[in-house]
Each structure stands twice: as structure tokens, then as C-alpha cells.
Amino acid sequence: MRRPIIILFFLLLCPLSRALEPIPDKLVVLGFDDCNKSDRHFVADVLKKHGFGATFYVTEGLGFHSGKGHYVTWEEIVELHKMGFEIGNHTKSHPNVTRLSRDQLKGELAHIEKRCREHGISKPDTFAFPGFSNNIRAVEVLAGMGYKFARRGVGPEYPDSGSGARGPAYDPATDHPLLIPTTGYAGPKWGMKDLKWAVSQAKDGKIAVLCFHGVPALDHPWVNCTPEAFSKYMQFLKDEGCTVIATRDLARYVDPGKGPKDPYAPIRARAKK
Ligand SMILES: [Zn+2]
């Protein structure tokens, strides 16, 4: 008689053990787009030193095939995976997804999933919009393919110079999980004061979402970040006691199954202010 009671007790406890954690202040999501060589040869070691999580958003577009000196190889992506970092999907060819049909976008996503599978990397379930372009069709395709979280850019709420900018903090109470805003992305027009501002926004349930490209970005100087500056940024996050996570780790704090009925409603409301 007693064993069924014990089993029932544990079954009842299980949902509790999956309860979401409260969002701490100074929670920072860190992502690196485009497969820059520095992902493996500089950034990963700095992150490891501090015990930070991060996502590397992988694409075979841009110069992945032609400019190997500036881009990581799949072998190096496997190393990042084995170091414990998240490998996220950034499409096969880095297109503007708003110009793709549903099937074309599905193909772009499926290609990176296949390449991950071939290399023993778990199926990506977070996404970064290439060039930050997004629309409702892409959100629906991502949801249909099981993606939990996706990161867009700083606009339309904030102006984007194209060479580093501030953006909204991510508010899981209102934002759709497949349209997470970027709170700051590095470039010549973004620096330490912008990083400090982004971290100051990460309070009362809001989260700072940071996007980097190459450190340095050899092919794309408009989103460059120098290794010296990057080291200082990461040291600042450490000194501030920030919790620095990969996008997938948001699932500890946020239910990816929940979101506004109209995914763009919170963006329009914020842009009007
Ligand atoms: Zn990109």
C-alpha cells in the first residue's frame, strides 16, 4: 500500500521542481552572431574564466565558406559546444528572413539543424534574426519548428545606427519569447557607458540582452568590438555580480509557451511612447 502513496507523492512534487525561478536583477543574456573566428580563439576563454554562459549563433552565410581565416570551422563550433556553450541557429545563408517564403525559412533553419546533428551538437532551439529583420511569418515558422526563444534588434523602439546601439530591456511579462529585443549590441557607437546602462535596465523582472559579433569583427567593422574593450566589459559584468546566461537558460525563468496573442503588440506599444 505504501509504495503507490510514495510514487503519488513524487508525481505531485514533480511539477513543483520545474517551477520557474524568480528573475534576478542584473540578469544578462549574452550572444555572439555570425561565426567569427574570435568566438573560439578569444571570446570562449574569457567567458570560461568568468564562468559565464553564452550562445554562439551559427550561420554558413557571410564569409563562412570563402573567408575561413575570419570564421570558425564546424570543428571549432563543436569545441564551443563541448565547452558547454549553446549553439543557436542563425540560418544557413544569413538572409533577410522577411523576404523568404515559409518553406524557404524552414529550409534555412533545417540546414543548420542538420549540420548540428552531423556534428553531434544538440538541435538548436533558440534563434537570432540575421540582420535583426523579422516579421510575423518568421515568428510562426519558428514556433512551428519548436524554437523557444528568438532575438531581434533594438528597433523600432530605439534608433539603430547600424554600428552599435542601445535597445529595450527584455520584459518577459509583455514581450513575445520569439521577439526578444536586443538591449545593446556592440559596435563603434556602443561602449562601456552603454553596457552600464544596459545592466541598469536589468531589474524588476527585466533582462539585459547583449549581442556581440567579432572580437574583433574582421569582416564587419561596423559591429567591431576590440579584445581590450571586450575584456573590460566582461570584467564589469563580473564585478557587478551579474548572472550571465545563454539564451536557452532563459527557460529557467521564463515560460517560452506564453506570450501575447499578437506578438507585435508590445513592440508597437513601446514604440509609441
Ligand atoms: Zn548575423
Strand pairing report for 208-212 and 55-58: unpaired
CA of 60 to the centre of ligand 1 (A): 10
pLDDT value at residue 1: 47
Full set of structural domains in the chain with CATH: 21-272 (3.20.20.370)
Q: Taking a C-beta distance cutoff of 8 angstroms, is the pair 56, 77 a contact? A: yes
CA of 140 to the centre of ligand 1 (A): 20
pLDDT value at residue 200: 98
Q: What pLDDT, in 10s, does the model give residues 11-55?
A: 555 544 569 999 999 999 999 999 999 999 999 999 999 999 999
CA of 65 to the centre of ligand 1 (A): 15
pLDDT value at residue 154: 98
pLDDT value at residue 203: 98
CA of 34 to the centre of ligand 1 (A): 5
Measure CA of the first residue to CA of the last residue in the chain; give whole Å: 62
How would DSSP label each residue in 204-261? TT-BEEEEE--TT-SS-GGG---HHHHHHHHHHHHHTT-EEE-GGGGGGTS-TT---S
Q: What are the distances in angstroms from CA 240 to CA 21, 128, 196, 208, 220?
A: 21, 26, 10, 13, 30
CA of 95 to the centre of ligand 1 (A): 9
The secondary element (H helix, E strand) that includes residue 32 is: strand 27-33
**Helix boundaries (H) for the chain:** 2-17, 38, 44-50, 74-82, 102-118, 136-144, 192-201, 227-239, 265-272
Task: Report DSSP state, residue 28.
Answer: E
Q: How many CA atoms lie within 13 A of 218 on its CB side?
A: 14
CA of 147 to the centre of ligand 1 (A): 18
Cα–Cα distance between 271 and 273 in angstroms, integer?
A: 6
CA of 17 to the centre of ligand 1 (A): 36
CA of 7 to the centre of ligand 1 (A): 48
pLDDT value at residue 16: 47
CA of 90 to the centre of ligand 1 (A): 7
pLDDT value at residue 2: 56
CA of 106 to the centre of ligand 1 (A): 17
CA of 15 to the centre of ligand 1 (A): 37
CA of 172 to the centre of ligand 1 (A): 23
CA of 254 to the centre of ligand 1 (A): 25
Q: Which residue has the cell 563543436?
A: 78
Intervals of the chain under pLDDT 50: 1, 15-16
* Residue 170, helix vs strand vs coil: strand
Please give the grid coordinates belonging to residue 261: 496573442
